[in-house]
Amino acid sequence: MRVVLSLLLAVGLIIFTASASKPSFNGSAPGCSGGGCHNLQDGIVSVAANGLTVEVTVSGVTPGKKVAGELVDASGTVVDVIDKTGNNPFTLTAPQEGMYRVNAGFKNPQLKWDSTMVNISLTGVEPPMVTNEIREFQLYPNHPNPFNPSTRIQFSLPTADNIQLIVYNIRGQEVRTLASGFFQAGSYAFIWDGKNNNGKQLPSGVYIGVLKGSQELRSIRMVLTK
């Protein structure tokens, strides 16, 4: 516990949870165990993905001071973390393709952090992200479709909301939860690898992707081929 606290005080970074809490580099579990030393500062973190590597840049840092960051997968698990480094930008590495959240920040001149999403895809087939002003709760057609072995599912939220992105088989049985939690307004994308929640490859067939919000619901038809 002392080690975790020392790292938190030395680095001063904040880490993401479903309620956007702050980081403490607490093993594989995000969150800072009740700490509240940092302030959210929108726009200070930018990212660029190259394969499984994510380059993270933090702006507003006093020259020569340390920065830190972590990579959090869709289930809320920290998959890579840099507790402090003089390199800015620095790199984080994802274990596989998918949608990840990057949390990063600094201690000097003030205690600030920011959070942003990054999509990791190795398929080489990427439709353009929705960049216009988001006005509707929307679930877009997956791409590619039909697909094998994976497909990209994108949705947009005009306002912050608690959402679930779930895949059902043709009999209406839930087979995979891709996202569940509180999301800020914006455009998001997740990669589905054709597997169920237990990591078992599903058979060829028609599957239904459903985006559930607090007051909205959208669905798409997806075809998995072998």
Domains of the chain, residue spans: 2-120, 138-224
The model's pLDDT over 13-35, given as tens digits with 9 standing for 90+, comes to 333 333 333 344 444 444 443 34
CATH top class, domain 2-120: mainly beta
CATH top class, domain 138-224: mainly beta
The structure tokens listed for 155 are: 């949705």
CA distances from 2 to 8, 135, 203 (A): 10, 47, 49
The model's pLDDT over 52-62, given as tens digits with 9 standing for 90+, comes to 788 888 888 88
Residue 37: what pLDDT?
A: 57
Q: In this predicted structure, which of 84-93, 122-131, 186-195 has the lowest mean pLDDT? A: 122-131
The model's pLDDT over 93-123, given as tens digits with 9 standing for 90+, comes to 888 877 888 888 888 778 888 888 887 766 4
**pTM over the 0.75 mark:** no
Average pLDDT, the chain: 77
